[in-house]
Copies of this chain bind each other. A is one copy, B any other.
Amino acid sequence: MASNAPITPRETDYSQWYLDIIREAQLADYSPVKGSMVFRPHGFAIWEAMKGDLDRRFKETGHVNAYFPLFIPLSFLSKEAEHVEGFAKECAVVTHHRLRGCELENGKKGVEPDPAAKLEEPLIVRPTSETIIWHMYGQWIQSHRDLPILINQWANVVRWELKTRPFLRTAEFLWQEGHTAHATAEEAVEETLQMLNVYKDFARETLAIPVVTGVKSASERFAGAVDTYTIEAMMQNTWALQAGTSHFLGQNFAKAFDVTYQAEDGSLEHVWATSWGVSTRLVGAAIMTHSDDAGLVLPPAIAPIQVVVVPIFRKAHEKEVVLPFAQDVADQLRASGLRVKVDDREKMKPGAKYYEWERKGVPLRLEIGPRDVQGGSAFAARRTGGKKFPVPVANLVPEVQSVLTGIQEELLANALARRVENTYATDSYADFKERLTRDGGWYLVPWMDNAENEAAIKAETKATVRCYPLDAQENIGDKKCFYSGQPATHMALFARAY
């Protein structure tokens, strides 16, 4: 339950503010399983809204959903050398398939793994599904007529993390993973970029988060990919958050699992691959981007409740008038497709209700008292502030929709302004270091791709290469790397990141 405890202001402690928001808006809770969290209904509904929107975008671009096993045989992981290197250190391993009774140290009865039920080959709880999916693709693909395969999976995955933070980094998380198979490299690259753009549009249009798209440096690349593309979002503390990735996998997995197709000319070719994913981390991104010191703020597109209607009455005869009117307002809004709640709890004062829905991030509140009924209107208060204003019921649906659209646009504009304001261009490492330490922010710099220098900068400043922004690579010219002074290979975006 919400504790009704104070929310730490962002200025005081940004990390604690984030945790306070999650607790007070009842989005998630800690679980007794180290690293795993519980998605409470209000938090899960945000993910459901995101999922519905993304799923539509995937289907519009020709993808279908399927479902592959949770468990991956240990030997599969080893087939792609970089892949196993990347994931071996954080795998949950299933070794037994039965329990047996035992006596515990305290003398009570308990259970333990049954030694007689040890698996011949241990199973990994999927950290990602390339290996098992490419094993299956090997059985499904024979001819060029079987290509492309455009499959997405909604699933839970496990990556054993020691330092966790709700939504942003947890041992188990929910995500979608697209896995596609193509006849040519060109087609696979095109798919990789198409899905990057689907993510970018989704972030902008639905989450009201303006993201930078770019390609990752070698050291931040997905284990097994040729190229990893990313969308990077700026949080309110100016840290970056990797919000989604799209990988061009080349023929790495096709070769590891020996997946070939017969081309039209009869030759056998290895298949080309992509994979791409976003996760429940996006819920954290949305919270961190828009919320304020009073609680959660959500873009209307993903708010589980978009409008809360609060009927106000003291006496029975007022209730008789106000309640049906409020219900009717709610029904009209619902009929137009909006998610609406009527808060008709008795024994609770309107002010207490306002406070609760403010903390829970409902974008628009409609207050309805006896005088509003007489005047044929509702009194509207936006979560994001501004003067309260009456909405005539005669024009209810278009007016509410327009207010919600306005809030959605305002949140995007604010986030974009913040990013622009806090993104700096510099050629000087000294300048970068000084300003980063003082002001935070993102830094667009000329850079010579080099893993050792990357590590050195990270050690010194905690900043990493977030990406090589796609739209910033044109004018490198004869620029020199801001760190090494060598000829620059890329324009790089440096920032501290979650």
Residues of A bordering B, CB below 8 Å: 1, 29, 31-33, 36-41, 44-45, 47-48, 64-78, 84, 88-101, 109-113, 122-125, 132, 135-136, 139-140, 142, 146, 151, 155-156, 158, 160, 172, 174
For A44, give its contact among B47, B66, B93 (CB under 8 Å).
B66
15 more A-B residue pairs beyond the given contacts A38-B67, A91-B98, A95-B95, with a C-beta to C-beta distance below 8 A: A1-B146, A38-B68, A70-B158, A74-B110, A74-B112, A77-B99, A78-B109, A88-B98, A88-B99, A92-B94, A92-B96, A92-B123, A93-B98, A99-B124, A156-B156
Residues of B within 8 A of A75 (CB): 110
Tell me the bound Cα distance from A110 to B79 in angstroms: 9
Q: A31-B132, A33-B69, A71-B172 are in contact. Are A111 and B139 (CB under 8 A)?
A: no
Tell me the bound Cα distance from A70 to B39 in angstroms: 12
Tell me the bound Cα distance from A191 to B139 in angstroms: 46
Tell me the bound Cα distance from A65 to B160 in angstroms: 25
Chain B CB within 10 A, most for which of A71, A84, A123? A71
Residues of B within 8 A of A67 (CB): 38-39, 44, 47, 174
Min CB gap A14→B, angstroms? 26
Q: Are B70 and A36 in contact (CB under 8 A)?
A: yes
Min CB gap A42→B, angstroms? 8
Q: Are A70 and B172 in contact (CB under 8 A)?
A: yes
Q: A88-B98, A89-B98, A98-B90 are in contact. Are A172 and B69 (CB under 8 A)?
A: yes
For A41, give its contact among B1, B90, B151 (CB under 8 Å).
B151
Residues of B within 8 A of A109 (CB): 78
Min CB gap A22→B, angstroms? 14
Tell me the bound Cα distance from A41 to B64 in angstroms: 6
Min CB gap A200→B, angstroms? 26
Measured CB to CB, the nearest residue on chain B to A304 is B64
Residues of B within 8 A of A72 (CB): 33
Residues of B within 8 A of A41 (CB): 64-66, 151
Q: A39-B67, A111-B78, A122-B113 are in contact. Are A32 and B97 (CB under 8 A)?
A: no
For A68, give its contact among B31, B64, B92, B158 (CB under 8 Å).
B31
Q: Are A111 and B88 in contact (CB under 8 A)?
A: yes
Q: Are B38 and A111 in contact (CB under 8 A)?
A: no
